[in-house]
Amino acid sequence: MNIKKQFKEGLITNNPVLVQQIGMCATMAITTSLFNGLGMGLSVLIILTCCNVVVSMIRKIIPEEIRLAIFVVVIAGFVTIVDLLLQAFIPALSSALGVFIPLIVVNCIIIGRAEAFCQKNTVGASFFDGIFQGLGYTCVLLVMSIVREFLGKGTFGGGLIDVANGFHFTLDGSGAGIKIFSGEYGATILTMPFGGFLTLGVLIAVMQYALKKSAKKKELAAKAAEEEKEVEE
Amino acid sequence: MLFNIISISLGAILINNFIFSQFLGCCPFLGCSNKTDTAFGMGVAVIFVMGMASAICWLIDTYILVPLGLAFLETLAFILIIAALVQLVEMFLKKSVPALYSALGIYLPLITTNCAVLGVVLLNVQNHYNFIESVVYGITGGIGFLLAIVLFASVRERVQFAEYPECFEGFPICLVSAALVALAFMGFSGMQIF
């Protein structure tokens, strides 16, 4: 397995949300501000990487029949660790994400990667898979939160960036973000559940469009190359 | 007490519907809503498991985890309880009510990873509900899920005949129609009870 290919798979061609279409609950629920999106994405990234490494380490000693139960225990363990760490060090994020942090246990991305990838691959490959798949997930969350926050409230980086006393980052979720246009002109509905469904739907549609287009381009290029060959012969 | 239960029920079914306002249980909601029949089966199975899980997890949390100071193990304990419970329900139904078992089919094992089930249990703890409130919240949350998935399955059956851009094929058009149903459910959000 080469790293470059894994990178491309995690971020684009096999993106967990946009292409595999799993782990959507949290994606739609918490992407109302950059603070929440980034926090959730990084939490999943850390948990996914840890679980991937542990699962691939123990892949040869776990019995086939009860592997899912063992995966779940490993995942729940790491989720609890991250949950407690967030409660201790970034309480604002913990209360903003609420029940969705413990719910990472049943996020299909993590158990899906354990089942589909780590069972068959080395520790190193699983580690990079965790990082790249996690990055792919984080990117989707970031795009969604930026779009929803900008169109809904007219700000960028809500909770994370504060510009009142010069530009600085806030970790307690108090920053108002950079104001781009006044909140009263925003489509507030995009920050509500309706916006979650709609934004994700449009995002996946754009992804499908792009993938189809690049596949067509490749096909055309292959055809052209073949024709050239025939002409040469 | 009665008012409390009525307000929890209405809240769980309509105002804070698990799918359309809390985004819990979206995977089975989008995956199993191709046909109204299967959606109904899935919904019934979820009601059953959510009610049972609320009751058992509340008992275990209150009488075992909290007295022993193990509340930080809640997530781990709950997911194991739910997995075991689903397995038990499956065996029980297979033996005693085979008709229902074959009707629910593959949906039973899938419920383990339904985040609405784990979600309702965690929310019970978070909201400090007592035993009766927890069970009511579990069952009515399940009813809300059933309502949402059956309504949406009917919408989806019609969407099949609609014309939409090619790139919206599959999941995107589903999500867009779900957004519109969610918009309808937003109408309940201003409702005040007592």
| pLDDT score of B87 | 85
Nearest CA in chain B to A95: B126
| pLDDT score of B192 | 65
| pLDDT score of B162 | 86
Facing residue for A102 by CB, picked from B113, B122, B173: B122
Q: Provide, as residue numbers in chain A, all residues whose Cβ is less than 8 Å from the Cβ of B26.
A: 24-25, 28
| pLDDT score of B120 | 92
Q: Do the Cβ atoms of A128 and A50 come closer than 8 Å?
A: no
| pLDDT score of B194 | 53
Percentages (nearest 5) of helix, strand, coil residues in chain A = 70, 5, 25
| pLDDT score of B187 | 84
Give the span between the Cα atoms of B129 and B124, in whole angstroms: 5
Q: Provide, as residue numbers in chain A, all residues whose Cβ is less than 8 Å from the Cβ of B169.
A: 208
Chain A closest-CA separation from residue B50 CA (Å): 15
pLDDT tens track, chain B, 194 positions: 788 888 888 888 888 888 888 888 888 888 778 888 878 888 888 898 899 999 999 999 999 999 998 888 888 999 989 988 888 888 888 888 887 777 776 677 778 878 889 999 999 999 999 999 999 999 999 999 999 999 999 998 888 888 888 888 888 898 999 999 988 888 887 776 65
Give every CB contact of residue A140 below 8 A, 6+ residues apart in sequence: A15, A16, A17, A18, A27, A203
Nearest CA in chain A to B180: A194
Helices (H) and strands (E) in chain A, counts: 8, 4
Q: Which of B79, B137, B169 would best serve as a mutation to test chain A binding (most A beta carbons within 10 A)?
A: B79
Confidence of residue A75 (pLDDT cuts 50, 70, 90): very high
Q: Provide, as residue numbers in chain B, all residues whose Cβ is less than 8 Å from the Cβ of A88.
A: none
Q: Which of B86, B155, B171, B186 would best serve as a mutation to test chain A binding (most A beta carbons within 10 A)?
A: B171
Q: Provide, as residue numbers in chain B, all residues whose Cβ is less than 8 Å from the Cβ of A144.
A: none
Say yes or no: A135 contacts chain B, CB-CB below 8 A.
no
Q: Do the Cβ atoms of A15 and A41 come closer than 8 Å?
A: no
Mean predicted lDDT score pLDDT of chain A: 87
- Tell me the backbone φ, ψ of residue A64, rounded to 5 degrees: -55, -40
Facing residue for B171 by CB, picked from A21, A25, A28: A21
| pLDDT score of B109 | 76
Give the span between the Cα atoms of B33 and B154, in whole angstroms: 8
Give the span between the Cα atoms of B96 and B90, in whole angstroms: 10
Give the span between the Cα atoms of B118 and B146, in whole angstroms: 17
Q: Which of B33, B126, B171, B175 would best serve as a mutation to test chain A binding (most A beta carbons within 10 A)?
A: B175
A3-55 tens-digit pLDDT: 888 888 888 888 888 888 888 888 888 888 888 899 999 999 999 999 999 99
Q: Provide, as residue numbers in chain B, all residues whose Cβ is less than 8 Å from the Cβ of A98.
A: 126
Per-residue pLDDT, averaged over A133-161, amounts to 89
Higher per-residue pLDDT: B194 or A217? A217
Q: Provide, as residue numbers in chain A, all residues whose Cβ is less than 8 Å from the Cβ of B168.
A: 201, 205, 208
Q: Provide, as residue numbers in chain B, all residues whose Cβ is less than 8 Å from the Cβ of A69.
A: 80, 83
Nearest CA in chain A to B111: A106
Give the span between the Cα atoms of A163 and A176, in whole angstroms: 8
Higher per-residue pLDDT: B47 or A2? B47
| pLDDT score of B139 | 95
Say yes or no: A80 contacts chain B, CB-CB below 8 A.
yes
| pLDDT score of A116 | 86
Per-residue pLDDT, averaged over A166-185, amounts to 77
| pLDDT score of B63 | 93
Residue A207 β-bridge partners: none
Chain A closest-CA separation from residue B114 CA (Å): 7
Q: Do B22 and A29 touch (CB under 8 A)?
A: yes
B169 DSSP 8-state letter: T
Say yes or no: A103 contacts chain B, CB-CB below 8 A.
yes
- Interface predicted TM-score (ipTM) of this complex, two decimals: 0.85
Residue A1 reports pLDDT greater than 60: no
| pLDDT score of A78 | 94
Facing residue for B75 by CB, picked from A105, A193, A208: A105
Q: Which of A74, A106, A113 would best serve as a mutation to test chain B binding (most B beta carbons within 10 A)?
A: A106
